Amino acid sequence: MKHAGTPTLTVLQGGRAVAALAVVAFHSAIATRDFGQGLPDAVFRASGYGAFGVDFFFVLSGFIILFAHAGDARDSQTARTYVWKRLARIYVPYLPVSLGLIGIYLALPRLSGSTREWSLLTSLTLIPTGLPPALAVAWTLVHEMMFYGLFLVSYVIRRFAWLVAGWVVLILAAAPWGMGETGNVPSAWSFLAPINLDFVLGMLAAHAVWLLNLRGAWVVLCIGLGVLGAAVAFSPPDPGGLHRLPHGIGLACIVAGAVRFEQVGLIRAPLFLVGLGNASYAIYLVHNPIASLAARMAARLGAFAAWPLCLAFCIGCGVVVGLFYHYAVERPALDRVRRRLGQVRTSVAVMRRPDPA
């Protein structure tokens, strides 16, 4: 079980980097097709597999939340700490991007994206309303907040595993009716979306790491690679419903095996991937509008008019701006919030300390 002070698992950060790049490539392909000089159908279909980066992020969220918090004391003070950490991690980097995009859409009503229906409430709070947020990729953050809220219940009930099992049953029961299939338009039914099973698979991967020996890790990793490979080979790039479940199963097995290998010192992600993984959330937040802007710029520059250069330009701009946002905004802001929260917790502890006899 992970405790405070445990070193960062580099394979997870490296996985974040790969997943973020896959999503950036997918959305850059869309921008190149829509605003650039077109894109071959085969290339566009292949880029669609980048959408599975979202599955990895969800699996990883389930893994990290349980791996990091399973040993927490189940009391109100620890629960409050968990809530503030999760809220800060999501909203502090997200809100500046969302507010900036909202301002642009309101100031430039003819801008592509501003003409679609979007919810101000969802954009600001990530509460599902039946309309998408202004920042298109933020629909995934709605699911993240749902999962964080569910895990919060583990601090007040003892049979949390039964609650998760009930959630899985509801998702599976609702899937044939398409009740949770809201896509990027989060609603109350989003809680039943099959993609939420990725969070559960991530938690199962965390349990597996605590139980696996080295031989078991090899078996689980091979199963994961086989399942993921078969899913990619025999399914469309962006399947819906339960057809996406094999990808989550494969990714969860790969995460469990890779983490176990790192724990025994067999593998370690390269430093450049770890650094890129550290900035993956910032890249995820800013890349889509940046890719759209880059594609329009490329279309006006003759040297970048050809689709390979346009696509590369969009990907590069998304990554570079994301790295800048991470180092200039996200990391300093989170550091300030964490210091402030630390000061508040220290003050509360001093106030509660009994007077000496």
How many whole angstroms separate alpha carbon 150 and alpha carbon 162?
12
How high is the mean pLDDT of the chain?
89
Q: Where does the pLDDT of residue 353 fall: very low under 50, low under 70, confident under 90, or very high at 90 and above?
A: low
Can you give the pLDDT at residue 351?
45
Q: Are 60 and 12 in contact (CB under 8 A)?
A: yes
Phi, psi of 110 (to 5 degrees): -90, 0
SS3 301: coil
Can you give the pLDDT at residue 219?
97
pLDDT tens-digit map of 43-101: 998 998 998 999 999 999 999 999 999 999 999 999 999 999 999 999 999 999 999 99
Residue 225 DSSP label: H
Q: Is the pLDDT of residue 346 over 60?
A: no
Q: Could you tell me which of 277, 293, 291 has the C-alpha nearest to residue 326?
A: 277
Q: Is the pLDDT of residue 354 over 80?
A: no
Q: Are 134 and 102 in contact (CB under 8 A)?
A: yes
How many whole angstroms separate alpha carbon 72 and alpha carbon 278?
24
pLDDT tens-digit map of 100-134: 999 999 988 777 666 678 999 999 999 999 999 99
Task: Identify residue 161 by its one-letter amino acid code.
Answer: A
Q: Where does the pLDDT of residue 241 fall: very low under 50, low under 70, confident under 90, or very high at 90 and above?
A: confident
Can you give the pLDDT at residue 341?
75
> pTM of this prediction?
0.91
Can you give the pLDDT at residue 357?
43
Break the chain into its structural domains and give their ranges. Answer: 10-348
Q: Where does the pLDDT of residue 303 fall: very low under 50, low under 70, confident under 90, or very high at 90 and above?
A: low
pLDDT tens-digit map of 202-214: 999 999 999 999 9
CA distance between the termini of the chain:
39
Can you give the pLDDT at residue 90?
97
How many whole angstroms separate alpha carbon 275 and alpha carbon 14?
8
